[in-house]
Structure 1
Amino acid sequence: MPHTPAAPAASATSAPPDAAARKAMLWIVFAGFFMQALDTTILNTALPAMAHSLGEKPLDLKPVVVAYTLTMALLTPASGWLADRFGTRRVYFCAILIFVLGSVFCASAQTLNQLIVARVLQGVGGSMLLPIGRLAVLRNVPGEQYIAALAFVSVAGQVGPIFGPVLGGWLVQSASWHWIFLINVPVGLVGLFAVRRYLPEGETGAAPPFDWIGCGLLSLCMVTFSLALERGTVDAWSTLLLGVSVASALLYLPHARRHRTPLFRLALFREPNFSVGLAGNLISRIGSGAVPFLLPLLFQLQLGYSPFHSGLMLLPVAIAGAISKRWIVPLVNRFGYDTFLTVNTVIVGASMASFAAMSPGWPLAASIFQLAVFGAANSMQFAAMNSVTLMGLSREDAGSGNSLFSMVQMLAIGLGVTIGGGLVSVFSAEFGAAAPAYRLAFLTVGIITLMSALVFRRLDAERLNPGSVKRAA
C-alpha cells in the first residue's frame, strides 16, 4: 500500500518548532498550496493566446493541461515514501525548485512539444507540494492546533481558483502568456529560502520498501488510457493502447495479492461505499474537468470576450463555490448522503448542459446565474463525494484509499479535458462550425455527469454517518 509516514522519533531534527517558526512554516505550506491551486486555474484563460503564439489551434493544447494533471496523478502516491526516505524539508525544497524550473521552461517554450515536456516537469514538483505540505503540518503542529492549522493552509486552495482565471486573463492581456508561468518564480524563490530557514528537517531513512512495480503498472494503465482517448479515433493504435491499459490493470491484481505492501490493497474494495464513491467520482469529475477548459474557449473564441473579461466571467464559479461550502453539513444531515448526492449531481449536470445556451446576445445576468449555480453545486459535490468515498475505510486502509482517491481525482480532470476538447473537435468536423460543437459538447458532458447520479444511488445509506462530512468538507 502507499507508504503511510511513520511518526517521527525524537531527535534534534524533529524537535517541535517554536510558535514563530511554526507560523512561518504554515505560511510556507500556504504558499505551496497557493502555487499549485493557482497553476491549475490560471492556464485556461491563456490557452487561446498561447495557441496563437505557438502556431497551434486552441484545442490542440489539451495535452498541456493533461500532461500536468496526469503527472501529478502518477507521482502523488510516492510522496509520503520520499518524505520518510529523504526528509520532509529536503523533499519540499526539491518540489518547489522543480516546480519553479518547470515554470521557467514553460515560459521559454517555443513549440507545443517543448511546452508539454516543461509541464511534465512542473507536474513533478506540483505533485509533492500538497501532500508533503500537509505532512509537514501533521508532524510539526500539536494535535489541539492541527485542525486550525490545516484550515488556514486550505484557504489557499480556495483563493487560488478565485484569482487564477482573472490573473491569467489580465497577464495575457497586459503583458504576455509567458507571465502566467514566470509569476511562480519570485514566489518560489522566497519559498526556497523560507524552507531552508523555517521548515524542520524530519527523520530520514526510515521508509519501508515502496511498491515500484505496482506503481509502474498503474501508471502504464493511466498513461495508455489517456493516450488512447487523446487520439480521438478508433484505429489500430488506439485499440493497442486500450489493450495495454486493460492488461496492465489486470496484471496489478495478482501482483497486489502477492506483494507484502502493495501500492493499493485490494481489500480497499471490500468497503462498498468506497467502490461506489470512486466510480461516481471518476464519472462526475469528467464533466467538472471539462468545463473549466471549455468555458474560456467559448468566451474568447465564440463570444468575443477578451482574456481578462473571460477571467472575470469565471469569478461567480469560484465565489459561489467558496460560499456554498457552509451549506453542505446541514443539507447532508437533513437529507442524507444518498439523496443529497443524487439530487445535487442532477443540478451539476443540468447546469453544465445549460452552458449550451450561451451565445452572442445571451443576457449577462443569465450567464452569471448559470455560472454561480454550477460553482455552488460543484463545490458541494466535491465535499460530499470526498466524504462518502473515504469515511468507511479502516484506519489500516485510510492512507492507501486516500492516495488512490487522489490519483482518480487527477486522472478524471485530465480525462475531462481530453473528452471535452475531443467532443468539440468531433462535432466541429461533423457540422463544419464551432458554435454548435460547443453547445453539443456542454450537453454531452452534462449528460455524462448526470449518469453519475445513477452510481450514487447504489450507496449503502446504512453505512454512512452524515456528521462525518464536517471532516472532509
Structure 2
Amino acid sequence: MSAPSSPSPLRSRLTSIAVAGGLLMEFIDSTSLATALPTLSREFGIPPEELKLALTTYVLALAMFIPASGWLSDRFGARRVYMIAIGIFMAGSLACALSANLAMLVAARFLQGLGGALMLPVARTIIVRSTPRENLVSAMAWFTIPGLLGPLIGPPLSGFILSIANWHWIFLINLPVSVLAIVAIRLLVPETAEDRNIRTFDMQGFVLTASAMILFIGAIELSGVGLPLYFSIGAVAGALLLMAGYIRHALRRERPVLNLQLFRYTTFRLSMIAGTVVRLGFGAGPLLMPLYFQIGLGWSPLAAGGIIIGHSIGVILAKPFAPRVIGWLGFRNALIACNLAASVAAFFPYLFSNATPLLLMYAVLITGGLSRSMQFTANNSLAYSELDDAEVSDAATMASVLQQLGLAMGVSLGGLLIHLGRETSGGALTASSFLMPFAAVSILMAAASLIYMRLPRDAGEAMRGAAA
C-alpha cells in the first residue's frame, strides 16, 4: 500500500505524536518496575531475585508475539490493532496493580507484554502508511523519541512514586494515559484498510517457536529454584527438539513466521549471534543495578532510579556521534572497541560505594551508555548490509524476536547469578553477593568481541561512507 499524499505536514505530525504517546507509556513502564523490586520483595515476602519472573515474562511475551503483529495489522487494520493493543496493555496494568502475589503479577505482566508486542511494530506501520514520503523523516523523528525518553523517565519516575505513594501506582498511572492514547489514536490516526486476501498465518511455526522460547527461559528459571538439574536439562532438550521441528517446518514453508534463510548472510548471522550474547548481559543490568544500589548500598528507590538514568543519558548522547565513529573505525573495529568498553563499564557499578563521588558514578554509567548505544547502532545497521529489499521485513521481525529473547534470557540469568551470589556469601543478600553477577555479566558481554572478530575486515564497507 502506497503512502497517502493528502495529509498535511501538521496532520502527519499529530499522527506521529499520537502514536508515540502510546509507545512512550510502554517504554516508561518497561523500565520502571526494576526500581520497585526491593519494595515488591518486602510486600510479597519473597527474595528479590525471584521477582525476575515479573521482568522476564514481560520481555518473553514480546518475543513470542511480535511475529504475529505484522499479519494482524494487515488483516484487521493497523489503527484497530493498535487501539486493541493499548487496551490489552491497560488491562494488564490494572491486573498488575491488583496483584497480591508473584504468580498474579507474572500473569499480569504477560498480558502487558502481549499488548506491548503489538504496539511497536504496528506503530511503525501506521507512521509509514499514513505519512507522505516527503514528511516521513520528520514523522520518524517523533517516532524514535519514546525509545529515548522512556528509559530516561522510567527509573526516576518509579522512585518518585514509591517515595510518595505505594507501588500500585506505578501501574495505575498507565490507566488514564491509555485512555487518552486510545482517544488520540481514534481522532487523529486515519483508518487503514483490512486485507482479507492476506496469506494464511503460520500458526504451526508460531506455536513451535513460542513453545521453544518458553522452555529455554524455563530452563534458566528452574536452575535457580533448587530443583534437580535434570529438570533444566529436560527443558533444554525439549526446546531443542521444538527448534529442530521448526527448522524442518520453516525449510518447507514458503513464508514461515521466522525466515531462517536470512542466516546464510555472514553479516546478518554474526550480528544476530553477537547481539544476542551481548543482550544476555545487558538484560541482567535492569535487575542487578537497582538491587545492588538499594540492598547492597542502602539507597532509596528515588536515589537508585536517579543514578540509573546516567546510562540512558549516554545512549542519547551517542546518537549524533555513532555514524562518525563507524565511518572512522569501520564496522568491525567499531563493534569490537565499543563492545569491550561497554563490557568494562558493566562491571564498574559494583565498585561504587557510598563514598564514590556522584559525578564519577554518572561518568561511568554515561560511558557505558555511549559505548553500548554506538555498538547497537553499528550492529543493527550491519545486519541489513547484504540483504535484498524484499528480505528487510523478515529481517526486522527476526531481529526484534532475538533482541527480546536475549533480554528475557538475560534477566533470568541475572536472577540466577544473584541467587548463586547469595549462596556464596552465606545465604544473605549483601553487597558482596553482587561481585560474581557483575563479573559474570562483564565477561559474557566481552565474549561477543570474539564473534565480531570473525567479521570480514571490509564488512559493511558500502555503508561506511554513508555513515561517515
TM range (shorter): over 0.9
AA of the residue aligned to 2:443: I
CA contact 1:288–1:378 (8 Å) conserved in 2: no
Alignment match, 1:203: 193
Cα RMSD between the aligned structures? 1.8
Structure 2 counterparts to residues 9-408 of structure 1, below 5 A: 16-204=6-194, 205-232=196-223, 235-408=229-402
CA contact 1:171–1:180 (8 Å) conserved in 2: yes
TM-score after normalising by structure 1: 0.94
Q: Sort the Cα spacing of 1:217 and 1:427 in 2 relative to 1 into closer, same or farther, 3 A.
A: same
Whether 2:442 is the aligned partner of 1:451: answer no
1:25-75: per-residue Cα shift (whole Å, max 9, x none)? 111111122012111211111111122112222111001001100001111
Q: Sort the Cα spacing of 1:125 and 1:58 in 2 relative to 1 into closer, same or farther, 3 A.
A: same
AA of the residue aligned to 1:420: G
1:428-469: per-residue Cα shift (whole Å, max 9, x none)? 112214322202110110000000000011112334136469
CA contact 1:383–1:469 (8 Å) conserved in 2: no
Alignment match, 1:439: 435
Whether 2:453 is the aligned partner of 1:460: answer no
1:201-232: per-residue Cα shift (whole Å, max 9, x none)? 21112421111111111111111000001112
Distance 1:470 1:223 in 2: 40
Which moved further from structure 2: 259-268 or 451-460?
A: 259-268
How far apart are residue 252 of structure 1 and its match? Answer: 1.2
Q: Identity percentage over the alignment?
A: 32
Q: Sort the Cα spacing of 1:163 and 1:466 in 2 relative to 1 into closer, same or farther, 3 A.
A: farther
CA contact 1:76–1:403 (8 Å) conserved in 2: yes
1:137-158: per-residue Cα shift (whole Å, max 9, x none)? 0001111211221111211110
CA contact 1:353–1:446 (8 Å) conserved in 2: yes
How far apart are residue 79 of structure 1 and its match? Answer: 0.7
AA of the residue aligned to 1:33: L
Which moved further from structure 2: 67-76 or 454-463?
A: 454-463
Distance 2:51 2:385 in 1: 37
Q: Sort the Cα spacing of 1:99 and 1:468 in 2 relative to 1 into closer, same or farther, 3 A.
A: farther
Distance 2:180 2:189 in 1: 13
Which moved further from structure 2: 347-356 or 97-106?
A: 347-356
Which moved further from structure 2: 263-272 or 438-447?
A: 263-272
How far apart are residue 406 of structure 1 and its match? Answer: 0.3
Which moved further from structure 2: 399-408 or 381-390?
A: 381-390
AA of the residue aligned to 1:390: Y
AA of the residue aligned to 2:218: L
1:94-114: per-residue Cα shift (whole Å, max 9, x none)? 001111111011001111100
CA contact 2:32–2:157 (8 Å) conserved in 1: yes
Distance 1:465 1:75 in 2: 34
Distance 2:361 2:264 in 1: 44
SS at match of 2:320: helix
SS at match of 1:448: helix
Distance 1:171 1:264 in 2: 40
Distance 1:78 1:359 in 2: 46
TM-score after normalising by structure 2: 0.95
Structure 1, unpaired ranges of 5+: 1-6
AA of the residue aligned to 2:436: L
SS at match of 2:207: helix
